[in-house]
Amino acid sequence: MLSLVHQLVQHQAGIRPDDDALRIKDEALTYQQLWQQIQAAAIGLAQLGLNRGDRVATYLPKTFESVITLFATSAAGCVFVPINPLLKPAQVQHILQDCDVACLITSADRTTQLAEVLSNTAPNPFVIIADNKKPQKAHPNTRLWSDLCAAIENPLDRFNRQTSITDEDVAAILYTSGSTGKPKGVVLCHRNLLSGAESVASYLQNTADDRLLAVLPFSFDYGLSQLTTAFYRGACVVLMDYLLPHDVIRAVVRYEITGLAAVPPLWNQLADLEWPEQAQHSLRYITNSGGAVPPALSDKLHHALPHTDIYLMYGLTEAFRSTYLPPEQLAVRPTSIGKAIPNAEVLVLRADGSVCDDNEAGELVHRGPLVAQGYWNAPEKTAKRFKPFYPDGADNSAPEIAVWSGDRVYRDPDGYLYFVSRTDEMIKTSGYRVSPAEVEDVLYQSARVKDAVALGLPHEALGQAIAAVVTLSSSYSSPSLEKTAALMVDENNEKWIENTKIEIKRHCQQQLPNYMIPATVIIVDELPKNPNGKYDRTNLHQKYIETFSGNRIDSNGHQQT
């Protein structure tokens, strides 16, 4: 019985050593080759002096090395921390410092970009250069990937390091935005990841004959799941960082992909494209998570891919995956998020913890082996989201820890769940969860901005798009800014306003990854406040809710109005 993450690959190497496990373009690794490289990297990590529980981070696009590191980290008894390759140095620094990363696997170019960050990170982590190139700005503890893995040539090529790790040990920390402040590290143990792989492979009916196209980042639990699910069944994963949606379709054809996971913005683009007959017949299923798929979009996808099963899923990083809608139910209940996945129970609870009646909205609560261990080094935040749950309803029974999602849902009489709203202020855009506070922190760093509120407003293609509502600092205010409405009739002032918006967005572009950059900047004279003296986000949301009405993304990835 498998109990540790690296055993997924070890097991498949024993029963199908010559089958492809990974592919990038024309290169492939069999399960045996992958396991050999995992052993070598694990020995290398151990020889650096890393101990059980030390954190090993990757800051890479999807490469063989990023996958090898995940499983080698497990084999070495350490903890995998995938960092989204879209993040800028300031966000990377937060993660490195927050979980005290002992070793960072990245590229030469990214090492140079992080030179200042690494010099200010104490204690200094080891830096492994995955592409074996010399960075322009070297870090004192830098090693090449080839040196790390040199152990494959020595007598220890069969990794036998004795570690006392169990399935309850921490396997990974995935950073996800919260409704306030910096991203939080969600702590996942080996049991969480293996239970998730077993569950997803079960309802997707994966087999060793499947070929999954991995287009999502591994820092996203949904993206990481593509690896663990495929390796649980012995399937092949094709790694891809795409530029245009057409590239995805070409890859489906070229590699005869059978399973494709994506988020709503990409499905919006793919649904408008022509899928060759070969792709229509090879693609057995597609899945969606990270946001809702409107019925009109699911209809378009069904028309484009008439032979393909469509699975709509709901999940949160704190529980890896929670619900799925079986394909045969899509036409019957197109707005449902489905029922609980295998290995999970999903409840709809009132504020007092009692179970809601049918069609009564309450908070979605997830219990079972997929529930994470909490947030890294954040006991107060953990206590608010991860709470004791008494299975038989009595306080004198033995409690377990369940996760309260922060999402309001209701259950119909047939047991299917429907999303109502979020109970916090999180922005969900392009499949990413974005903290308004993190965007606002960057806005406040602009000399032009006095006050700022970041809103998530409805957007047809993105789910939500980010709008920055700001007031300007006095040193950058137009002489007539007291009357913004009147200002807009003056051509010169109108140009000044537009240039100011451009400069604020440019500032954000320098500090934030693309998905966190405000799609629009709204300049106002004053931000409304509620009786508590806080900015009235509800008022602003209602006022600007139609800002992106009618906006969509074309097949080339460009926004249209």
CATH number at residue 59: 3.40.50.980
In sequence order, the 6+-apart residues with CB closer than 8 A to the CB of 118 are 96, 104, 111, 124, 125, 127, 139
Other Cβ atoms less than 10 A from the Cβ of 240: the count is 20
Within-domain flag for 546: yes
In sequence order, the 6+-apart residues with CB closer than 8 A to the CB of 335 are 292, 295, 418
535: CATH: 3.30.300.30
What is the Cα–Cα distance from 81 to 60, expressed in whole angstroms? Answer: 11
What's the pLDDT at 342? 96
What's the pLDDT at 47? 93
What is the Cα–Cα distance from 37 to 443, expressed in whole angstroms? Answer: 44
Residue 545 to residues 529, 539, 541, Cα–Cα distance (Å): 18, 10, 6
In sequence order, the 6+-apart residues with CB closer than 8 A to the CB of 269 are 245, 461, 553, 554, 555, 557
What is the Cα–Cα distance from 484 to 454, expressed in whole angstroms? Answer: 20
What is the Cα–Cα distance from 503 to 289, expressed in whole angstroms? Answer: 34
Within-domain flag for 28: yes
Within-domain flag for 439: yes
How many CA within 13 A on the CB side of residue 71?
A: 25
Other Cβ atoms less than 10 A from the Cβ of 551: the count is 18
What values do phi and psi take at 84, rounded to 5?
Answer: -55, 125
What is the Cα–Cα distance from 364 to 260, expressed in whole angstroms? Answer: 27
Between vectors from CA 143 to CA 141 and to CA 149, what angle results, nearest 5°? 140
Cα 147 to its chain centre, rounded Å, is 31
Measured torsion, CA atoms of residues 364, 366, 372, 378, in degrees rounded to the nearest 10: 40
What values do phi and psi take at 359, rounded to 5?
Answer: 65, 10
Angle between helices 64-75 and 221-233 (to 10 degrees): 80
Final residue in a domain of this structure, among 149, 182, 213: 149
What total of structural domains would you count in the chain? 2
What is the Cα–Cα distance from 167 to 5, expressed in whole angstroms? Answer: 9
In sequence order, the 6+-apart residues with CB closer than 8 A to the CB of 425 are 179, 180, 436, 456, 537
Within-domain flag for 114: yes
Within-domain flag for 254: no
Final residue in a domain of this structure, among 103, 128, 149: 149
Within-domain flag for 34: yes
Final residue in a domain of this structure, among 107, 129, 149: 149
Burial track 411-442 (b if 16+ CB lie within 10 A, e otherwise): beeeebbbbeebeebbbbbbbbbbbbebbbbb
Which residues span the domain enclosing 74? 17-149
Tell me which H or E stretch contains 198: helix 190-203
What are the tokens at 160? 């036998």
Within-domain flag for 101: yes
Within-domain flag for 205: no
Over its C-alpha atoms, the chain yields an Rg (Å, rounded) of 24
SS3 state of residue 104: strand
Which of these, 357, 350, 351, 325, lies nearest to 338 by C-alpha position?
325
What are the tokens at 314? 């709901």
Burial track 286-310 (b if 16+ CB lie within 10 A, e otherwise): bbbbbbbbeeebbebbbebbeebbb
What is the Cα–Cα distance from 501 to 449, expressed in whole angstroms? Answer: 10
Contact, 429 vs 462, CB < 8 A? yes
The pTM of the full predicted model, rounded to 2 decimals, is: 0.84
* 520-523 sheet: strands from edge to edge: 449-459, 463-472, 520-523
Residue 387 to residues 8, 290, 347, Cα–Cα distance (Å): 31, 24, 14
pLDDT per residue rounded down to tens, the chain (561 residues): 899 999 999 999 999 999 999 999 999 999 999 999 999 999 999 999 999 999 999 999 999 999 999 999 999 999 999 999 999 999 999 999 999 999 999 999 999 999 999 988 877 899 999 999 998 887 788 999 999 998 655 544 455 555 689 999 999 999 987 555 688 999 999 999 999 999 999 999 999 999 999 999 999 999 999 999 999 999 999 999 988 999 999 999 999 999 999 998 899 889 989 999 999 999 999 999 988 888 889 999 999 999 999 999 999 899 988 999 999 999 999 999 999 999 999 999 999 999 999 999 999 999 999 999 999 999 999 999 999 988 766 565 678 999 999 998 999 999 999 988 777 778 889 888 888 878 988 998 998 998 899 999 999 889 999 999 999 987 776 544 444 444 444 666 788 899 999 999 999 999 999 999 999 999 999 888 765 557 888 889 899 999 998 664 443 334 444
